[in-house]
Amino acid sequence: MKLGLKDKVVLITGGARGIGAATVLAFHSERSNVIFADRDYESGSKLEKSIGPHGKFIEAELNTPESCRETVEKTVSIFGGIDVLVNNAGFNDGLGLETPPEEFMNSVRTNLLHVYAMAHYSLPLLRRSQGCIVNLGSKVSETGQGNTSAYAAAKGAIRALTREWAVALAPNNIRVNCVMPAECHTEQYEKFFQKSKNPEQTKQAVSHLVPLSHRLTTPAEIAKTIVFLSSDSSSHTTGQHIFVDGGYTHFDRAVSHDHDKWQ
């Protein structure tokens, strides 16, 4: 599907693996110029080699405003501007309410600061291009998960900032939306399964909870939604929280219940 994104400059954070890497490949298939930043040098370099001259990898931690500013500046030096910013980087570190407040704030900073900083430093370029921002949220900001206070707080803030920025930037014709995954089969999630006593049984149990097709969402399905929201095909869509989760978050729990066990 060609969405008019040829030669558009797309900056993606956390683009070396998982949803980020799938998003890099999805934009590349649309013949966009893709910059992706990540701290994983090995995975990032490998992905860069696989997509050729229209994809560039920047090794960056994105844990300080300076590193975010430098990433934006490098993007401009390579491709001349920014049309789309995808704030994908993030990590569920499982810090619950027993976590000391200092560690809680450090975790929130890790998952949130770069989202604000990347948007802040990209803003003049997005105003020039009348581009868009796509943030990556999480179902935990809607449902809760338990024992992940810091991550939930950061993702809740990202949801709020999505709507705040959509309102603030509407006069500039800049659209801002948030994609909300739930049970997505990333490498990180696979590591969680492998740590369980019976990895395959655990995976099947989680998959059964997803109403649509009883399977986990793929990173590619998340990526396609990000690409669509970045294109003119969604030119009047802004301030939205789009759940790509097979109905996991909002469907009645009875949908996923095995009633035969109780008959």
Q: For residue 107, what are its two tokens?
A: 């975790």
Q: For residue 164, what are its two tokens?
A: 């705040």
> CA 35, CA 88: separation in Å to the nearest integer?
13
- Coil, helix or strand for 56? strand
Nearest Cα to Cα of residue 57 among 28, 92, 90, 91: 28
Q: For residue 262, what are its two tokens?
A: 């109780």
- Coil, helix or strand for 168? helix
Catalytic residue among 41, 116, 121, 151: 151
- 121 is annotated as an active-site residue: no
- Exposed/middle/buried for residue 61 (C-beta within 10 Å: 0-12, 13-18, 19+): middle
Q: Which residues are catalytic?
A: 151
